[in-house]
Amino acid sequence: MRMKWVFILTLMLSAVIPILWLQQGCNSSYPSLTDMAIFTPTPTLQPDIVSNFESGGTAINPNLVNYIPGNAGFTDNIPTTSPVDGVIATPLVQSGIGYNSNYAIRVEATWSDCATCGYPSAALSANLYSGTTYYDLPLSLTGIMFYLNIAAISWTGSTAPVFSFAVPLASTIPTSGGGTCTGSECYDHFNASLPTTVTGGYILMTIPFSTLKRAGFGSSIAPCSQTNIMDGCNNKEVMTLAWAVASNDIPGNYAVDFRLDNITFY
Protein backbone atom coordinates (compact mmCIF):
# COMPACT_ATOMS: atom_id res chain seq x y z
CA MET A 1 0.00 0.00 0.00
CA ARG A 2 2.85 2.38 0.93
CA MET A 3 4.59 1.67 -2.38
CA LYS A 4 1.36 2.55 -4.23
CA TRP A 5 1.18 6.02 -2.61
CA VAL A 6 4.87 6.67 -3.28
CA PHE A 7 4.29 5.84 -6.95
CA ILE A 8 1.29 8.22 -7.18
CA LEU A 9 3.18 11.10 -5.48
CA THR A 10 6.10 10.60 -7.87
CA LEU A 11 3.79 10.93 -10.85
CA MET A 12 2.20 14.12 -9.45
CA LEU A 13 5.58 15.77 -8.83
CA SER A 14 6.79 14.86 -12.31
CA ALA A 15 3.79 16.78 -13.74
CA VAL A 16 4.06 19.84 -11.44
CA ILE A 17 7.79 20.52 -11.70
CA PRO A 18 7.84 21.16 -15.50
CA ILE A 19 4.90 23.56 -15.11
CA LEU A 20 6.71 25.50 -12.38
CA TRP A 21 9.82 25.60 -14.53
CA LEU A 22 7.87 27.00 -17.51
CA GLN A 23 6.22 29.64 -15.34
CA GLN A 24 9.62 30.67 -13.96
CA GLY A 25 10.87 31.11 -17.50
CA CYS A 26 7.90 33.44 -18.16
CA ASN A 27 8.49 35.49 -14.98
CA SER A 28 5.88 33.36 -13.21
CA SER A 29 2.97 35.00 -15.19
CA TYR A 30 1.14 34.78 -18.46
CA PRO A 31 1.42 37.64 -20.99
CA SER A 32 -1.39 40.20 -20.95
CA LEU A 33 -3.72 40.63 -23.94
CA THR A 34 -2.03 43.95 -24.74
CA ASP A 35 1.30 42.12 -25.05
CA MET A 36 -0.09 39.60 -27.51
CA ALA A 37 0.08 40.28 -31.25
CA ILE A 38 -3.51 40.48 -32.53
CA PHE A 39 -3.81 39.94 -36.29
CA THR A 40 -6.43 42.14 -37.96
CA PRO A 41 -7.01 41.24 -41.61
CA THR A 42 -7.58 43.94 -44.20
CA PRO A 43 -11.35 44.22 -44.75
CA THR A 44 -12.52 42.79 -48.06
CA LEU A 45 -15.04 44.90 -49.94
CA GLN A 46 -18.31 43.18 -50.69
CA PRO A 47 -18.94 42.30 -54.36
CA ASP A 48 -21.79 44.83 -54.68
CA ILE A 49 -19.61 47.81 -53.72
CA VAL A 50 -18.32 49.86 -56.65
CA SER A 51 -15.97 51.84 -54.39
CA ASN A 52 -15.73 53.37 -50.92
CA PHE A 53 -12.44 55.12 -51.86
CA GLU A 54 -10.71 54.11 -48.62
CA SER A 55 -7.68 53.02 -50.62
CA GLY A 56 -7.23 56.69 -51.42
CA GLY A 57 -7.31 55.92 -55.14
CA THR A 58 -9.70 55.95 -58.07
CA ALA A 59 -9.84 52.20 -58.75
CA ILE A 60 -13.04 50.17 -58.98
CA ASN A 61 -13.46 47.48 -56.30
CA PRO A 62 -11.77 44.37 -57.78
CA ASN A 63 -14.27 42.19 -55.89
CA LEU A 64 -17.20 43.80 -57.71
CA VAL A 65 -19.36 41.13 -59.29
CA ASN A 66 -18.47 40.85 -63.00
CA TYR A 67 -15.46 43.13 -62.46
CA ILE A 68 -13.55 43.70 -65.70
CA PRO A 69 -9.75 43.87 -65.30
CA GLY A 70 -8.17 46.76 -67.14
CA ASN A 71 -11.04 49.21 -66.70
CA ALA A 72 -10.11 52.86 -66.29
CA GLY A 73 -11.67 53.28 -62.85
CA PHE A 74 -12.98 56.73 -61.93
CA THR A 75 -12.20 59.72 -64.15
CA ASP A 76 -13.49 63.28 -64.38
CA ASN A 77 -13.83 65.65 -67.29
CA ILE A 78 -14.86 69.17 -68.24
CA PRO A 79 -14.29 70.92 -71.59
CA THR A 80 -11.18 73.06 -71.35
CA THR A 81 -11.01 74.72 -74.77
CA SER A 82 -12.00 78.35 -75.32
CA PRO A 83 -14.63 79.72 -75.01
CA VAL A 84 -15.80 77.17 -72.45
CA ASP A 85 -12.72 77.63 -70.24
CA GLY A 86 -13.42 74.76 -67.88
CA VAL A 87 -11.23 74.19 -64.84
CA ILE A 88 -11.48 71.12 -62.60
CA ALA A 89 -9.56 70.80 -59.34
CA THR A 90 -7.35 67.87 -58.37
CA PRO A 91 -6.78 65.43 -56.76
CA LEU A 92 -9.94 63.52 -57.49
CA VAL A 93 -9.99 61.39 -54.32
CA GLN A 94 -9.31 63.40 -51.17
CA SER A 95 -8.88 62.60 -47.48
CA GLY A 96 -10.89 64.10 -44.65
CA ILE A 97 -14.13 64.49 -46.62
CA GLY A 98 -15.67 61.01 -46.48
CA TYR A 99 -19.03 59.97 -45.11
CA ASN A 100 -18.20 58.54 -41.66
CA SER A 101 -14.83 57.67 -43.17
CA ASN A 102 -11.68 59.35 -44.43
CA TYR A 103 -11.72 59.34 -48.23
CA ALA A 104 -14.35 60.36 -50.78
CA ILE A 105 -14.31 61.37 -54.42
CA ARG A 106 -14.72 65.06 -55.21
CA VAL A 107 -15.57 67.11 -58.29
CA GLU A 108 -14.77 70.79 -57.91
CA ALA A 109 -15.12 72.69 -61.18
CA THR A 110 -15.75 76.06 -62.78
CA TRP A 111 -16.66 76.81 -66.39
CA SER A 112 -18.28 79.28 -68.75
CA ASP A 113 -21.05 78.47 -71.24
CA CYS A 114 -21.38 80.47 -74.44
CA ALA A 115 -24.75 79.09 -75.68
CA THR A 116 -23.06 77.32 -78.60
CA CYS A 117 -20.40 75.42 -76.69
CA GLY A 118 -21.76 71.93 -77.18
CA TYR A 119 -23.40 71.33 -73.79
CA PRO A 120 -20.41 71.54 -71.44
CA SER A 121 -20.60 69.77 -68.07
CA ALA A 122 -18.51 68.82 -65.07
CA ALA A 123 -18.65 65.03 -65.25
CA LEU A 124 -17.50 62.11 -63.15
CA SER A 125 -17.45 58.59 -64.57
CA ALA A 126 -16.94 55.15 -63.06
CA ASN A 127 -15.60 53.41 -66.14
CA LEU A 128 -16.58 49.74 -65.94
CA TYR A 129 -15.49 48.61 -69.39
CA SER A 130 -12.23 47.73 -71.10
CA GLY A 131 -11.94 47.98 -74.86
CA THR A 132 -15.08 46.42 -76.26
CA THR A 133 -15.74 44.29 -73.15
CA TYR A 134 -18.70 45.83 -71.36
CA TYR A 135 -19.89 45.40 -67.79
CA ASP A 136 -22.66 42.82 -67.40
CA LEU A 137 -24.88 44.13 -64.61
CA PRO A 138 -26.46 41.12 -62.89
CA LEU A 139 -30.25 40.91 -63.08
CA SER A 140 -30.25 40.10 -59.36
CA LEU A 141 -29.36 43.74 -58.60
CA THR A 142 -32.18 46.30 -58.56
CA GLY A 143 -30.52 49.68 -58.11
CA ILE A 144 -27.63 51.82 -56.97
CA MET A 145 -27.10 53.95 -53.90
CA PHE A 146 -24.45 56.45 -52.88
CA TYR A 147 -23.88 59.26 -50.43
CA LEU A 148 -23.93 62.70 -52.04
CA ASN A 149 -22.70 65.97 -50.58
CA ILE A 150 -23.23 69.14 -52.62
CA ALA A 151 -20.89 71.55 -50.90
CA ALA A 152 -21.40 74.41 -53.39
CA ILE A 153 -23.20 75.20 -56.62
CA SER A 154 -23.59 78.61 -58.27
CA TRP A 155 -24.38 80.11 -61.65
CA THR A 156 -24.92 83.46 -63.41
CA GLY A 157 -27.03 82.01 -66.21
CA SER A 158 -30.80 82.38 -66.37
CA THR A 159 -31.43 78.87 -65.02
CA ALA A 160 -29.69 76.50 -62.67
CA PRO A 161 -27.51 73.77 -64.14
CA VAL A 162 -28.91 70.24 -64.29
CA PHE A 163 -27.42 67.52 -62.09
CA SER A 164 -28.02 63.95 -63.21
CA PHE A 165 -26.94 60.37 -62.74
CA ALA A 166 -26.80 58.22 -65.88
CA VAL A 167 -25.85 54.74 -67.01
CA PRO A 168 -24.29 55.06 -70.48
CA LEU A 169 -24.52 51.86 -72.49
CA ALA A 170 -22.52 50.69 -75.47
CA SER A 171 -25.69 51.27 -77.50
CA THR A 172 -25.80 54.95 -76.47
CA ILE A 173 -22.06 55.70 -76.71
CA PRO A 174 -20.72 56.37 -80.23
CA THR A 175 -18.10 54.10 -81.74
CA SER A 176 -15.58 56.92 -81.41
CA GLY A 177 -15.97 56.64 -77.63
CA GLY A 178 -15.72 52.85 -77.49
CA GLY A 179 -19.44 52.09 -77.82
CA THR A 180 -21.54 50.70 -80.64
CA CYS A 181 -23.86 53.67 -81.37
CA THR A 182 -23.93 55.05 -84.93
CA GLY A 183 -27.32 56.84 -85.01
CA SER A 184 -29.37 59.56 -83.34
CA GLU A 185 -29.70 57.50 -80.16
CA CYS A 186 -26.15 58.42 -79.17
CA TYR A 187 -25.96 60.10 -75.74
CA ASP A 188 -29.63 59.34 -74.98
CA HIS A 189 -28.65 57.52 -71.79
CA PHE A 190 -30.80 56.03 -69.07
CA ASN A 191 -30.70 58.69 -66.34
CA ALA A 192 -32.24 60.15 -63.18
CA SER A 193 -32.23 63.69 -61.78
CA LEU A 194 -30.19 64.64 -58.71
CA PRO A 195 -30.71 67.67 -56.43
CA THR A 196 -29.02 70.97 -57.31
CA THR A 197 -29.36 72.67 -53.93
CA VAL A 198 -26.58 72.66 -51.36
CA THR A 199 -27.18 69.77 -48.97
CA GLY A 200 -24.83 70.93 -46.22
CA GLY A 201 -23.66 67.38 -45.67
CA TYR A 202 -24.08 63.88 -47.03
CA ILE A 203 -27.48 62.52 -48.01
CA LEU A 204 -28.19 58.98 -49.13
CA MET A 205 -29.39 58.72 -52.72
CA THR A 206 -31.16 55.45 -53.56
CA ILE A 207 -31.96 55.01 -57.25
CA PRO A 208 -33.86 51.91 -58.41
CA PHE A 209 -32.93 50.92 -61.95
CA SER A 210 -36.65 50.88 -62.73
CA THR A 211 -36.74 54.69 -62.34
CA LEU A 212 -34.03 55.32 -64.95
CA LYS A 213 -35.43 56.60 -68.24
CA ARG A 214 -34.05 57.74 -71.59
CA ALA A 215 -34.88 61.32 -72.54
CA GLY A 216 -36.37 60.10 -75.81
CA PHE A 217 -34.59 62.41 -78.25
CA GLY A 218 -32.82 59.47 -79.83
CA SER A 219 -34.13 56.72 -82.03
CA SER A 220 -35.04 53.30 -80.69
CA ILE A 221 -32.25 51.08 -79.41
CA ALA A 222 -34.26 47.94 -80.23
CA PRO A 223 -34.23 45.13 -79.36
CA CYS A 224 -33.35 46.74 -76.03
CA SER A 225 -36.08 48.51 -74.06
CA GLN A 226 -36.48 52.29 -74.11
CA THR A 227 -37.63 52.36 -70.49
CA ASN A 228 -36.19 49.31 -68.73
CA ILE A 229 -32.43 49.07 -68.40
CA MET A 230 -32.82 45.68 -66.71
CA ASP A 231 -34.72 44.03 -69.57
CA GLY A 232 -31.96 41.45 -70.00
CA CYS A 233 -30.68 43.21 -73.11
CA ASN A 234 -29.55 46.66 -72.00
CA ASN A 235 -27.78 45.34 -68.92
CA LYS A 236 -25.35 43.39 -71.09
CA GLU A 237 -23.60 46.55 -72.29
CA VAL A 238 -23.07 48.91 -69.35
CA MET A 239 -20.03 51.09 -69.99
CA THR A 240 -20.02 53.63 -67.18
CA LEU A 241 -21.82 55.11 -64.21
CA ALA A 242 -21.89 58.86 -64.73
CA TRP A 243 -22.60 61.93 -62.63
CA ALA A 244 -22.73 65.29 -64.43
CA VAL A 245 -23.62 68.90 -63.73
CA ALA A 246 -24.53 70.46 -67.09
CA SER A 247 -25.30 74.07 -68.04
CA ASN A 248 -27.15 72.96 -71.20
CA ASP A 249 -25.86 75.81 -73.38
CA ILE A 250 -27.37 78.51 -71.13
CA PRO A 251 -24.88 81.42 -71.25
CA GLY A 252 -23.19 82.19 -67.95
CA ASN A 253 -20.52 81.20 -65.46
CA TYR A 254 -20.89 78.07 -63.36
CA ALA A 255 -19.21 76.55 -60.32
CA VAL A 256 -19.83 73.29 -58.49
CA ASP A 257 -18.30 71.27 -55.67
CA PHE A 258 -19.81 67.86 -54.96
CA ARG A 259 -18.55 64.71 -53.24
CA LEU A 260 -19.59 61.05 -53.48
CA ASP A 261 -18.91 58.17 -51.15
CA ASN A 262 -19.83 54.49 -50.67
CA ILE A 263 -21.14 53.85 -54.18
CA THR A 264 -22.93 50.50 -54.00
CA PHE A 265 -25.27 48.36 -56.06
CA TYR A 266 -28.14 46.70 -54.24
Q: From start to end of the chain, where are the E strands?
A: 49-51, 73-77, 87-88, 93-94, 104-113, 121-127, 143-155, 162-167, 190-193, 203-208, 240-246, 252-265
Whether residues 236 and 191 fall in one domain: yes
Q: What is the pLDDT of residue 198?
A: 93
Residue 44 lies in a domain: no
Q: Write the pLDDT tens digit of every residue in 109-166.
A: 999 999 888 899 999 999 999 999 999 999 999 999 999 999 999 999 999 999 999 9
Q: Given pLDDT bands bounded at 50, 70 and 90, which one contains residue 28?
A: very low
Task: Mark whether 88 and 130 lie in a shared domain.
Answer: yes
Q: Are residues 55 and 29 in the same domain?
A: no
CA 49/CA 8 separation, integer angstroms: 65
- Predicted confidence (pLDDT) at residue 83 exceeds the cutoff of 90: no
Residue 216 within a domain: yes
> Are 210 and 232 members of one domain?
yes
- Please indicate, yes or no, whether residues 14 and 137 belong to a single structural domain of this protein: no
Q: Are residues 156 and 27 in the same domain?
A: no
| Pairwise pLDDT comparison (147 vs 27), residue with the higher score | 147
Confidence of residue 14 (pLDDT cuts 50, 70, 90): very low
Convert the pLDDT of each residue in 180-206 to its tens digit: 998 888 999 999 999 999 998 999 999
Is residue 159 in some structural domain? yes
Nearest alpha-carbon partner for 54 in 90, 92, 95: 95
Question: Is residue 31 located within the same domain as residue 162?
Answer: no
Number of compact structural domains in the chain: 2
Same domain, yes or no, for 7 and 100?
Answer: no
In one letter, which amino acid is 233? C
What confidence tens digit (pLDDT) does each residue in 100-111 have?
999 999 999 999
In angstroms, rounded to a whole number, what is the distance separating the alpha carbons of residues 68 and 58?
Answer: 15
Residue 43 lies in a domain: no
pLDDT per position as a tens digit, 29-56: 444 434 434 444 557 899 999 999 999 9
- Read off the pLDDT of each residue in 209-233 and give the average, rounded to a whole number: 86
What's the mean per-residue pLDDT of the chain?
86
- CATH code for position 61: 2.60.120.430
Residues 26 and 123 in one domain: no
Alpha helical stretches, state H, 26-96: none
Asked if residue 251 and residue 120 are part of one domain, the reply reads yes
Residue 41 belongs to some domain of the structure:
no
Q: Does some domain include residue 40?
A: no
Say what the pLDDT of residue 202 is: 98
Same domain for 22 and 145? no
Same domain, 129 and 176: yes
Any idea of the CA torsion for 113, 105, 144, 241, to the nearest 10 degrees?
A: 50
For residue 14, what are the domain limits?
2-35
